[in-house]
């Protein structure tokens, strides 16, 4: 069996914030190998699979030597000799070795490092194209990018309260055109901010712009104006996506908007979100409420999810049981898929397929603490996710993913369809109607 796993070795690596993470190399009997490094988030939800950290004097306690030992001393023995092309069996073997649903004994970062490296090795064993290995007989699809333009929250020192304002190039006809339009919007927005006298931090955690604004609404205004300044029509050529990251706003009494010095109860907060959606070309709203407020999520689905994407990140945590609960309750209509929330490649893929089978849109996402790896781009293409959220068009850990997608589009021997605007779920948006009509 040439795809037999012969060796597994992990090492401590660094992510884009300079925090340790886990890297892994898996070698096959064929001589091929796969290498992967695990990303890590800043605004992590309570229902994510659990990372294992050292909690000692190194790296302010963020070291991953314990997780590396989990790979080298336990997980390697669990998977050596297995077929790298049988991802589900490999992942199940590691889940059994850990013995907890959240992978807390050995560490989700340890398990995922091996899981990803096995997937990459499986792709290398074929024709070298990971996306084709992941697609199998299913249709591969070039995803529509969701690109960070302005950052706040945990990604930018809380210069505004909401975490990210992103652009979605609805009118682009190819991935290359979409990423060029997004970059054009970023540059135009930066120029506007400079002319308006904002102090600009050019690179936030995910490469977005940041400035100390006086209201959250200003963040929406500046990116909408940036779309127009880039020569594009807001709501037609390009729209806004908003990552609220509501877990970061909740203070126990309500949603605290620190830059505006006010706290809103869930009803008032939903009124504010609805007002923003009516005033700006917002096509996607992510995590508008906390991950335990199912009632408010249901109300938001009815009110602002009728003609735009209502995207669950912390709510679903790339967890099949939580997604099933959301489907049964009719909550949200789109799912953010982060492999490190799930802990294995198989779990993340199962969540994506479950979402798609129930008509939910799917967005494969990077993390704020990411690396130079490009496997995420291949996952989005091979799994036919339709959308991808990586960050901005700056910082090499972000551009690495964009460059991989540009490479796939330009050099693939098989012509791949670009998802375009059809990837975004807009249940009640009538054919031919623009967002602002």
The answer to whether 139 and 417 are in contact (CB under 8 A) is yes
For the record, the structure tokens of 160 come out as 């505004």
Within 10 Å of residue 194's Cβ, how many Cβ atoms?
A: 12
| Residue 158 to residue 68: CA distance in whole angstroms | 33
Catalytic residue among 95, 206, 299, 397: 206
DSSP string, 354-394: HHHHTT-EEEEE--SB--S--HHHHHHHHTT-EEEEEE-S-
3-state secondary structure at position 310 = strand
| Residue 115 to residue 405: CA distance in whole angstroms | 22
3-state secondary structure at position 173 = coil
Residue 282 gets which letter from DSSP?
Answer: E
Whose tokens are 């127009």? That residue is 228
Residues near 283 by Cβ (< 8 Å), separated by ≥ 6? 168, 170, 239, 240, 241, 308, 309, 424, 426, 435
CA dihedral 192, 197, 199, 204 (to 10 degrees): -10
Rounded to 5 degrees, what are φ and ψ at 233? -95, 115
| Residue 17 to residue 205: CA distance in whole angstroms | 7
Respond yes or no: is residue 338 known to be catalytic. yes
Catalytic residue among 48, 95, 286, 338: 338
| Residue 47 to residue 308: CA distance in whole angstroms | 25
The answer to whether 75 and 113 are in contact (CB under 8 A) is no
| Residue 175 to residue 247: CA distance in whole angstroms | 32
CA quadruple 410, 352, 236, 429: dihedral sign: positive
The answer to whether 362 and 385 are in contact (CB under 8 A) is yes
Query: Within 13 Å, how many C-alpha atoms sit on residue 310's CB side?
Result: 27
Give catalytic residues, as residue numbers. Answer: 206, 338
């Amino acid at each position: 069996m040439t795809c037999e796993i012969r060796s597994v070795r992990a090492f401590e690596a660094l992510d884009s914030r300079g925090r340790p993470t886990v890297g892994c190399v898996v070698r096959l009997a064929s001589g091929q190998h796969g290498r992967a490094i695990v990303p890590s988030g800043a605004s992590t939800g309570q229902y994510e699979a659990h990372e294992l950290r050292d909690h000692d004097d190194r790296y302010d306690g963020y070291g991953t030597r314990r997780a590396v030992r989990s790979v080298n001393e336990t997980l390697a023995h669990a998977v050596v000799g297995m077929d790298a092309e049988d991802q589900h069996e490999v992942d199940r073997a590691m889940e059994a070795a850990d013995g907890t649903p959240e992978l807390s004994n050995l560490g989700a970062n340890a398990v995922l490092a091996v899981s990803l490296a096995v997937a990459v090795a499986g792709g290398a064993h074929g024709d070298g194209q990971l996306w084709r290995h992941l697609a199998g007989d299913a249709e591969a699809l070039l995803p529509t990018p969701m690109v960070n333009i302005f950052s706040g929250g945990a990604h930018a020192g809380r210069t505004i309260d909401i975490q990210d304002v992103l652009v979605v190039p609805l009118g682009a006809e190819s991935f290359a055109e979409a990423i060029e339009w997004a970059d054009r919007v970023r540059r135009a927005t930066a120029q506007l901010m400079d002319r308006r006298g904002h102090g600009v931090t050019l690179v936030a955690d995910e490469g977005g712009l940041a400035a100390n604004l006086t209201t959250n609404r200003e963040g929406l205004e500046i990116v909408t104006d940036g779309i127009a300044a880039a020569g594009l029509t807001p709501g037609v050529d390009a729209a806004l996506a908003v990552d609220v990251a509501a877990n970061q706003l909740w203070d126990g009494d309500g949603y605290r908007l620190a830059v505006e010095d006010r706290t809103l109860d869930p009803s008032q907060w939903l009124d504010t979100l609805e007002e923003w959606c009516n005033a700006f070309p917002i096509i996607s709203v992510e995590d508008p409420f906390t991950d335990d407020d199912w009632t408010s999520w249901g109300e938001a689905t009815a009110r602002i999810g009728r003609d735009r994407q209502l995207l669950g990140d912390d709510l679903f945590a790339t967890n099949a049981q939580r997604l099933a609960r959301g489907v049964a309750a009719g909550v949200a209509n789109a799912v953010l898929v982060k492999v490190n929330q799930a802990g294995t490649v198989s779990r993340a893929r199962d969540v994506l397929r479950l979402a798609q089978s129930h008509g939910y849109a799917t967005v494969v996402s990077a993390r704020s603490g990411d690396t130079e790896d490009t496997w995420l781009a291949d996952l989005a293409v091979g799994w036919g996710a339709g959308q991808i959220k990586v960050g901005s068009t700056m910082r090499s850990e972000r551009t690495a993913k964009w460059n991989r997608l540009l490479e796939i589009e330009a050099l693939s021997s098989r012509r791949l369809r670009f998802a375009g605007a059809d990837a975004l779920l807009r249940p009640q948006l009538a054919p031919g109607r623009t967002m602002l009509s």
